Amino acid sequence: PDTITIAIDGPAGAGKGTLARRLADYYHLALLDTGLTYRAVAHMLIDKGWPLDDVAHAIEAAKLVDLGHLDRKVLSAHAVGEAASRVAVIPDVRKILVEKQRQFARSPQGAVLDGRDIGTVVCPDADVKLYVTASAEVRAQRRLAEIEANGGTADFAGILADIERRDERDTGRADSPLRPADDAHLLDTSEMDIEAAFSAARDIVDRVL
Ligand code: C5P
């Protein structure tokens, strides 16, 4: 094919963000981390002091999300991710953001999108679907290492509990729960470093090119 769409889904901390970036660079595809769109909605609500279950304001915020102006630095805070998983249960918010994500997926040079529902809802016709996982313990360990590398401290049990709570919210919600598409390739990175995961993903993509 001339252009391809790659859909990457999986739970928080499985390494899908890094993998998405590496694949986008390698195949010269546009990249959208769709988690940032939910984070942007949560951030606007927090900023204005509105509750996260204020549906009317969440819808207003979703309409204002501009894919060209998603500031990863502002949106990366742990609390924003937590809040994002709460606004992400609102069907009308999802509808608005999914429409913007689909438009991005039509980028003329092809695109990589990563999130929770890309292969199942946003891009059900994607050329390649990857479902990237790792055990909750491994994901918690990676998160702890990242915090410590940045000079912070945290305790393993607390991080693990956070991860398990977020997994539960993302897999348990009624609208677009996190789950692998029937035609997704499963990639368990528990025992892989990023190079091994990237190489495995490339093998899968190269088979459809
Ligand atoms: O991937 P990230 O941690 O940035 O996502 C934050 C939250 O946004 C997720 O926990 C999930 O609830 C929500 N999300 C979603 N659908 C997506 C991407 C993210 O529901 N496609």
Task: Report yes or no on 64 lying in a domain.
Answer: yes
CATH number of the CATH domain containing 17: 3.40.50.300
Euclidean distance between CA atoms 197 and 182, whole angstroms = 21
Query: Residue 1: pLDDT above 70?
Result: no
Task: Report yes or no on 190 lying in a domain.
Answer: yes
Q: Is 180 labelled a binding residue?
A: no
Residue 101 alpha carbon, nearest atom of ligand 1: 21
Residue 36 alpha carbon, nearest atom of ligand 1: 4
Q: What is the DSSP string of 177-208?
A: -S---TTPEEEE-TT--HHHHHHHHHHHHHHH
DSSP bridge partners of 132: 187
Q: Is 17 labelled a binding residue?
A: yes
- State the total domains in the chain: 1
Query: Residue 2: pLDDT above 90?
Result: no
Task: Report yes or no on 110 lying in a domain.
Answer: yes
pLDDT digits 0-9 by tens, 52-97: 999 999 999 999 999 999 999 999 998 999 999 999 999 999 999 9
Query: Residue 209: pLDDT above 90?
Result: no
Distance of CA 204 to the CA centre of its chain: 20
Q: Which domain holds residue 25?
A: 5-202
Separation of CA 64 and ligand 1 centre (Å): 18
Residue nearest to atom 7 of ligand 1 (CA): 85
Ligand 1 lined by 38 (C-beta under 6 Å): yes
Task: Report yes or no on 208 lying in a domain.
Answer: no
Query: Across the chain, how many H-helices and E-strands are there?
Result: 9, 5
**Torsion angle (degrees, nearest 10) of CA 146, 41, 121, 194:** -10
Task: Report yes or no on 209 lying in a domain.
Answer: no
The ipTM estimated for the assembled molecules is 0.99
Q: Is 120 labelled a binding residue?
A: no
